[in-house]
Chains A and B, each alone.
Chain A
Amino acid sequence: MAEKDNSSNPPAAGAALGQYHVVVKGDTLGKIAEKYYGDPSLYKDIFEANKNVLKDPNKIFPGQKLRIP
């Protein structure tokens, strides 16, 4: 089951401004895309924005913090 990152701290200085999602067990990029965009097929936008931490869109791990563009 997906969990929402409820932290409300301001972004760190110099960090990219955006919305973030912490991956939990059972998450897929498709599920995350559906949650934020309403459409699982838009998972590629999340993958593209997180290429610095993701090598494969099918491999995400609990605890990873993904930027949701």
Chain B
Amino acid sequence: MSFRNRFSQFAVLAFVGLALAACANQKVPATAAISGIETAINAASAEASKYVPDQLADVQSKFAALKDSLDKQDYKAVLAGAPAVLSSAQGLVAAAAAKKDEVMKAFNGDWTGLAASLPNLVSAVKSRVDILSKSKKLPAGVDLAAAKSGLEEASSLWSKAQGAFSSGNLEEAVNTAKEVKSKAEAAAAALKLDLSQPAAAK
């Protein structure tokens, strides 16, 4: 074998060796990058799935594409795409916190309004139920039994809403209070109790 042929063989082997070494060098950081992104997504997913589900889905989709590249040993693609996906994954926590804050402020406003108006509404319905229960002949169209049942449900739900508020579950408190409003209004309608009229001049 000539010197020239030996040199060619050596060059090919050296190239393959360098390529394998380069490949091995990229595998470790690529795997670490995937792991880092996965950790960031897992840390944010509970709140993100509730408050910024679209943003979470977008990050998960990009992460899946990176994992696919890793499985195909395309480490270069993984390392090229990982920083942006990691940044998006890390941003999920702040985005979810901001959205949660916005939602909680809205619930707080709703609760303040409902807590101020519902006791009066339930009290007005109860007062009419008490009086009609003494009546010898109910006015036409009044369904006292339905109103009593609705009032009972509204009262029970109102206790539940207050309990949820006391234990810090604002979302449940507001949603339950909205049910109270609906039940009490239905009971008022069953009594033909029109509460939309203006109050008497003082």
Q: Which residue of B lies closest to A39 (CB)?
A: B135
Q: A58 interface residue, CB < 8 Å from B?
A: no
The number of inter-chain residue pairs (CB within 8 angstroms) is: 75
Cα separation A15 to B128 with both chains bound (whole Å): 18
Number of interface residues of A (CB under 8 A): 26
B-chain residues with CB within 8 Å of residue A29 when the two chains form the complex: none
Q: B23 interface residue, CB < 8 Å from A?
A: no
The stretch among B10-18, B28-36, B137-145 that forms the contact with chain A is B137-145
Q: Which residue of B lies closest to A64 (CB)?
A: B200
Per-residue A-contact encoding for B105-133, CB less than 8 Å = 1, 0 else: 00000000000010011011001100110
Q: B22 interface residue, CB < 8 Å from A?
A: no
Q: Which residue of A lies closest to B197 (CB)?
A: A20
Q: A31 interface residue, CB < 8 Å from B?
A: no
Q: B193 interface residue, CB < 8 Å from A?
A: yes
Q: Are B131 and A11 in contact (CB under 8 A)?
A: no
- Interface residue SS majority, chain A: loop
Cα separation A65 to B196 with both chains bound (whole Å): 15
A-chain residues with CB within 8 Å of residue B134 when the two chains form the complex: 39, 42
B-chain residues with CB within 8 Å of residue A41 when the two chains form the complex: 136
Number of interface residues of B (CB under 8 A): 25
Q: B198 interface residue, CB < 8 Å from A?
A: yes
A62 CB to closest chain B CB (Å) equals: 15
Q: Which residue of B lies closest to A17 (CB)?
A: B120
A-chain residues with CB within 8 Å of residue B135 when the two chains form the complex: 37-39, 42
Q: A26 interface residue, CB < 8 Å from B?
A: no
B-chain residues with CB within 8 Å of residue A5 when the two chains form the complex: 197
Which residues of chain A in 1-49 are interfacial with respect to chain B, using CB atoms and an 8 Å cutoff? 5, 7-12, 15-20, 35-39, 41-42, 45
Q: Are A15 and B199 in contact (CB under 8 A)?
A: yes
Q: Which residue of A lies closest to B194 (CB)?
A: A19
B-chain residues with CB within 8 Å of residue A16 when the two chains form the complex: 120, 199
Binding site for B on A (CB under 8 A): 5, 7-12, 15-20, 35-39, 41-42, 45, 53, 65-67, 69
Q: 10 closest pairs, A vs B, by CB?
A: A15-B199, A65-B200, A39-B135, A17-B120, A38-B139, A69-B127, A38-B137, A9-B198, A20-B197, A38-B138
User: Assuming A20-B200, A38-B137, what are 5 further A-B pairs, CB within 8 angstroms?
Assistant: A9-B198, A19-B197, A20-B199, A39-B137, A41-B136
